[in-house]
Chains A and B, each alone.
Chain A
Amino acid sequence: MRALSYRAPHVVRVVDKPDPRIEHPDDIVLRITRTAICGSDLHLYHGLVPDTRVGITFGHEFAGVVEEVGPGVKSLSRGDRVVVPFNVSCGACAFCRRGLYACCEEANPNSDLAGGAFGYSHTTGGYEGGQAEYVRVPYADVGPFRVPDDMHEEDVLFLSDILPTGYQAAEMGDIEEGDTVIVFGCGPVGLFAQKAAWLMGAGRVIAVDRVPDRLEFARQYNQVETVNFEEVDDVRAHLRKMTDGLGADVCIDAVGCEAAGSFGQTLLGKLKIEAGQPTAVFWAVDTVRRGGTVSIVGVYGPPANLFPLGQAMNKNLTIRAGQCNVRRYMPHLLELIRNGTIDAKAIISHRLPLEEAPEAYRMFAQKKDHCRKVVLIPRAAA
């Protein structure tokens, strides 16, 4: 099969790889029809994620058609169309039984830090990802979610990661009706966090970024107020002024470890003195009101980052963070897509053949051509 292969930081190629096969009775093999590049894939692409081995295939947002079924799989048959959570979850361990599918202790024997995930280095189990024509999906009765017969895989593709992640970000903020919410980041996760904030009854949603076309899209797609942090002297002072000096009730970090906006943090991150740049976390802590909540879904990795602990403690903040437990959100969010409340696929800016994945990564990383979200299409599905 054809599949993306990581070669070096900033270098990926599409190569021939052996087709995946059933390795365990609970496996399926999925023929992929749609697969997306995630913002967090860029951390892999930039060589920032430990134990990213040359040759691995990235990709944790995919949907497709069941091609082969292991003898232990009860809920799926050949020909079924499914969208798959990025989490690899056994369903039976102590964490999965509590609904914490992102924390599965069986799926990732390499680390206690993280659960299993598709295509996200051996730090998360070393599973081959879905930027390919086929992928092996373990624990197939747990994760994969059927695509309704009257919907296309593209309608529901983002149920795999970014839509539930944006929703969980807003949920972790414990948003109450009338709350003021600041979302740092107008990438796909930020867009869905803004949308979810409205669904939860926010009174005001302010989105922060520096890319003008992303800010414009956020205004149109979500009807939010926007701030370009490169056009103001001090974004924190600006946001405090916008919120009458009090700060927001909830601040959401949908940016992660490659944040722009602070020379000092960027320097520390590039020199590997800390694991990336938590600029958005600092801004969130500084612009949330006393007693407010900071919700972190931006991806960060080990070993450690600076954190404004004194501000957080003295302001009586609640800090929530986490990878999304995707499977819990899929049914509810499917209904919101189906009834027209959320038009998830509207955020797609580029649809490209899988063979053009290297160019797609370059374009996405450099934010060229107004790139917002890239969906790759394997040749058999074109």
Chain B
Amino acid sequence: MPIDEQGIEVHQEIVGWGVDRDRAKRPGVPREIETGVDTETRFGKSPVTVTIPLRGVSGLLRRAAYKKPDWEPTRWMMLLMADRIDVVESALTSRRGMVALGGGALALAGGLLALRRRRR
């Protein structure tokens, strides 16, 4: 393998080897730069995206979680718990969920009625 002027092996077999050896070519160096952007905001902030509004028990839990600061572990545990509750709530309130709930309620009512008749 060829050696360059600094005594480093040059990997000629690697396409593009060393093209960004010079740190000045690396776009993220230095880490902080001055972009020189005009900071005047002409139209105000872009609206907060409320793509999935808060609802139900999961929504209550999320609202409570957001009152806690980022560095509190309980904030994140509450949000994760709310995610699980959200899954159940969404399943129950979906079309299939409502049918299943309705069917379950009917089955329960029928079973209780049959039990009552049997006792008589």
Seen from chain A, the residues whose Cβ lies within 8 Å of a Cβ on chain B are 7-9, 23-27, 47, 50-56, 72, 90-92, 96-100, 106-107, 109-113, 122-123, 125-128, 138-139, 167-168, 171-172, 174, 177-178, 196, 198-201, 203, 223, 272, 275, 301-304, 325, 328-329, 331-333, 336, 340-342
Contact = CB atoms under 8 A, between A and B. Distances in A.
Nearest to B93: A54
B15 A92 contact: no
Given A98-B34, A177-B18, A177-B21, A92 B41 contact: yes
B52 A126 contact: yes
Contacts of A100: 31-32
A21 B85 CA distance: 30
Which 10 pairs from chain A and chain B are nearest by CB? A341-B16, A50-B79, A303-B73, A201-B21, A53-B52, A178-B8, A54-B90, A201-B18, A99-B33, A138-B46
Contact of A336 (B16, B42, B52, B66): B16
A43 to B, nearest CB: 12
A332 B72 CA distance: 39
B86 A54 contact: yes
Contacts, number: 166
Task: Give chain B's interface secondary structure class.
Answer: loop
B11 A198 contact: yes
Nearest to B17: A198
A95 B75 CA distance: 25
Contact of B17 (A53, A126, A201): A201
Which of A47, A171, A301 has the most C-beta atoms of chain B within 10 angstroms of its own C-beta? A171
Given A24-B43, A331-B27, A98 B49 contact: no
A109 B48 CA distance: 7
Dominant secondary structure at the A interface: loop
A97 B37 contact: yes
Contacts of A328: 27-28, 33
20 contacts: A8-B91, A23-B46, A25-B43, A50-B83, A53-B86, A55-B51, A72-B42, A97-B36, A97-B39, A125-B49, A126-B50, A167-B27, A178-B8, A198-B18, A199-B20, A200-B21, A302-B73, A304-B73, A328-B27, A328-B33
Contacts of A25: 42-43
Contacts of A201: 8, 17-18, 20-21
Nearest to A342: B16
B9, B20, B21, B87 pick with most chain A CB within 10 angstroms:
B20
Interface in B65-120: 65-66, 70, 72-73, 75-77, 79-80, 82-84, 86-87, 90-91
B9 A178 contact: yes
Contacts of B72: 303
A9 B87 contact: yes
Contact of B47 (A23, A92, A172, A331): A23
